[in-house]
């Protein structure tokens, strides 16, 4: 059976833009991929993100979600370091 792929946009903020050398990218992921699996794909694609593994905050659209959140077509992942407002 042919695997169905979905497009997921990934946005990078703060110095993650420097580590990845881009502001965003689009992943083509198998339907049913969760956030944690998507993060692994991102770390493979951008090895410099590996060392930020423990301090990466991840949001889907505008919400912080659990790592087992199943991604749906059209959703956007945003990745960034710890926040520093104020």
Partner 1 sequence: MKRSIKLTLEPIVESSLIAERKMSREMGAVNYFSGIVREGEEGKTIKAINYEAFDKMVLHQFDLILNEIEERWPIESIRLVHRTGTVKVNESSLWIEVISPHRTEAFEACQWLIDEMKKRVPIWKHPIFTKVD
Segment interacting with partner 1 (CB under 8 A) among 6-14, 23-31, 40-48, 66-74: 6-14
Residue 46 is a binding residue for partner 1 (CB under 8 A): no
Question: What residues numbered 7-26 form the site for partner 1, per CB under 8 A?
Answer: 11, 13-14
Distance of alpha carbon 32 from alpha carbon 77, whole angstroms: 15
What value, to the nearest 5°, has the Cα angle with vertex 74 and ends 71 and 80? 70
Report the Cα 54 to chain-centroid distance in Å.
14
Judged by CB under 8 A, which of 27, 52, 57, 65 binds partner 1? Answer: 57
Closest approach, Cβ 1 to partner 1, in A, equals 37
- Using DSSP's 3-state secondary structure scheme, residue 7 falls into strand
């Amino acid at each position: 059976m042919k695997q169905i792929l979905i497009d997921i946009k990934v946005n990078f903020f703060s110095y993650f833009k420097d580590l990845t050398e881009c502001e965003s990218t689009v992943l083509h992921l198998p339907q049913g991929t969760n956030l944690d699996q998507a993060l692994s794909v991102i770390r493979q694609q951008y090895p410099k993100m590996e060392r930020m593994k423990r301090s990466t905050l991840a949001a889907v659209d505008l919400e912080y979600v659990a790592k087992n959140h199943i991604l749906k077509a059209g959703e956007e992942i945003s990745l960034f370091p710890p926040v520093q407002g104020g």
